[in-house]
Amino acid sequence: MRRIVFTLALIGGFFSAMAQDGGGSGVAKKALQKSSDFLLVELSYDAWSGLPSGVKTGFNRGFNTYFMYDVKLQPHLSIAPGVGFGTSGIFLKGYRLDNSDGNVSTVPSLSSTDNKGRFKVATTYFDIPVELRYRANSDNANKGFKAAIGIKAGYLLNAHTKEVLSVNNSRVVEKEISRRYFNNFRFAATARVGLGPIGLFGSYNLNPIFKNTSQLDPTCYSIGIYVSGL
């Protein structure tokens, strides 16, 4: 997590230096007044579709942060490529996923458990999103109606499971870090709509989460709120 924050800070500092080059404080002041949605932060509810019957999940959460470069095509239309990171955490109810490297099985599988604690499947991706944007206010993304559709490609940086157990009335946390079952890449369709710097967004993965889908074939989707600016 510290590496991700450090990388984001480096990327942000690079783009910030570019934006302020030759303009000093006047450029910074203008950037605050006339946003082009350079920074995009998303908080989502995530879910897996295609789970076996009876398998339920809890309050799943996702968090994405992207730096986008807005290129105008027409007064109200622009295209914006970017880079950033996306995380997702899926909480299984009454089931667990064996993600250990010691598992000889070649396919991911869920097994039921009587554990009253929590079981989480977490992933972190390095994403490259591209959006086609519409803004009613062509000069300032902080005002008026706006909408965007796009795609993003992601590379899996980390996948792990975490289980909270109660052993002899003591809290025990077991964590397994392994990408062996997971696809190294994800591709997703995205859309968002909002007023000023706040709005709603959604995304749907176009490929499955796991490499071998013969027994388990979920696909991830997200809905949530976003904040944009700069």
CATH of the domain at 149: 2.40.160
- CA 56/CA 198 separation, integer angstroms: 31
User: 89-116: buried (b, 16+ CB within 10 Å) or exposed (e) per residue?
Assistant: bbbbeebbbebeeeeeeeebebeeeeee
pTM: predicted TM-score of the whole model, two decimal places: 0.82
**Which residue range(s) make up the domain with 160?**
34-229
**For position 24, what pLDDT does the model report?**
45
Residue 18 lies in a domain: no
Tens digit of pLDDT at every position of the chain (230 positions): 555 544 555 455 544 444 444 444 444 444 445 678 999 999 999 999 999 888 889 899 999 999 999 999 999 999 999 999 999 999 998 888 887 766 667 778 788 887 666 899 999 999 999 999 999 998 888 899 999 999 999 999 999 999 888 777 788 888 889 998 999 999 999 999 999 999 999 999 999 999 888 778 999 999 999 999 88
Residue 2 lies in a domain: no
- CA 112/CA 94 separation, integer angstroms: 6
Residue 21 lies in a domain: no
Residue with tokens 């010691």: 102
Residue 7 lies in a domain: no
Residue 10 lies in a domain: no
Residue 169 lies in a domain: yes
- CA 65/CA 132 separation, integer angstroms: 18
- CA 188/CA 8 separation, integer angstroms: 21
- CA 149/CA 220 separation, integer angstroms: 18
Residue pair 43/60 in contact (Cβ under 8 Å)? The answer is no
| Nearest CA-CA partner of 107 in 207, 218, 181, 9 | 181
**For position 34, what pLDDT does the model report?**
67
Backbone angles phi, psi at 131, to 5 degrees: -120, 145
**For position 28, what pLDDT does the model report?**
44
Residue 99 lies in a domain: yes
Number of domains in the chain: 1
Residue 9 lies in a domain: no
